[in-house]
Amino acid sequence: MVDDLKGLSAEFARDPDSLVFLRLGEALRMRGEIEAASRVAQTGLERYPDLPEARDLYARILVDGGQIGEARQVWWGILEIEPRHLGANKGLGYLWYGDGDLDRALEHLETALAADPTDQSVVQALRVVRMAAAEAEEMPPAPAIFEGLEGADHGLLLVDQRGRPLGGGLKTPQGTPVADEVAAYLGGVGDEAQRAARLLGLGDWQWLVTESEDGNLHLTRPTEGSLLLVVRDRSVPAGRLTYLAAKANEAARSWLEAQQL
């Protein structure tokens, strides 16, 4: 492997316009050298910005580096050019499966299989997702925290104080699930809000509203150890957002109390 890497690096240095960056980037990725792999992939992309294989390599490196949202964007970009691209469909299939969206996972993996029916990794992944889908159909639905509330699966998110999602869901205006990423940041926002309120002599913080470029956000504390986020597009006025947050807050508090019994 080391010899392979040396050879590929030498070849890349000798002829930076060649496609050897694809093999070198993949070899570095497989060795876990994410930063080096990313540099190589980005160098290749500068020369071949529209090459689907270069973008696919970069997306896989992004996933290994934990940049799931960015990887998803890169794969979507490939599908705009080449809708049946094997790597992009495979990658998106895995990501949707990770998000628990089995229908979308199946859709992408079946397209990937159609692109290359001999790809055993796709065959295996499809088997796993189909089994999960069959089990999901047999299971009774889990009690939903925000059942009946507007935006329960894409604009209401309950997290614990350490930034772990407890329920609900959150998607970007483009439909990308982002509950895990946003939850991770919310713990810090809650801590900072509390610190600011206390140090400025404002007492305990109660809620926080943010008007942003493409949406409004309302953050509150249903209980001492939890945070509730409500996100809506800018057409929803602040007053209505507060009303929605109050309803969701009530539902979240009841659910949290039931968990402690």
- Establish if 98 lies at the interface with another protein (CB under 8 A): no
Kindly report the backbone phi and psi dihedral angles of residue 219, in degrees, each rounded to the nearest multiple of 5, phi listed first.
-125, 130
Closest distance to another protein from the beta carbon of 34 (Å): 20
Closest distance to another protein from the beta carbon of 168 (Å): 13
Residue with Cβ nearer another protein (130 or 171)? 171
By C-alpha distance, which of 139, 186, 137 is closest to 158?
186
Kindly report the backbone phi and psi dihedral angles of residue 233, in degrees, each rounded to the nearest multiple of 5, phi listed first.
-75, 170
198-237: contacts with another protein (CB under 8 A): 199-217, 231
d(CA 59, CA 68): 9
Supply angle C-alpha 86, 91, 96, rounded to 5. 125
Residue with Cβ nearer another protein (134 or 238)? 238
92: helix, strand or coil:
helix
Closest distance to another protein from the beta carbon of 13 (Å): 37
String marking each residue 166-185 x if it binds another protein according to CB under 8 A: ----x-xxx-x-x--xx-xx
d(CA 170, CA 183): 9
Determine the interface stretch with another protein among 50-58, 85-93, 114-122, 192-200 (rule: CB under 8 A).
192-200
Q: Read off the DSSP letter of residue 261.
A: -
Pick from 27, 74, 106, 186 the residue near another protein by CB under 8 A: 186
Closest distance to another protein from the beta carbon of 42 (Å): 21
Single-letter residue type at 254? S
> Is residue 183 a contact partner of residue 206, using CB atoms and an 8 Å limit?
no
8-37: contacts with another protein (CB under 8 A): none
Question: What is the binding site for another protein (CB under 8 A)?
Answer: 69, 170, 172-174, 176, 178, 181-182, 184-186, 188-189, 192-193, 195-197, 199-217, 231
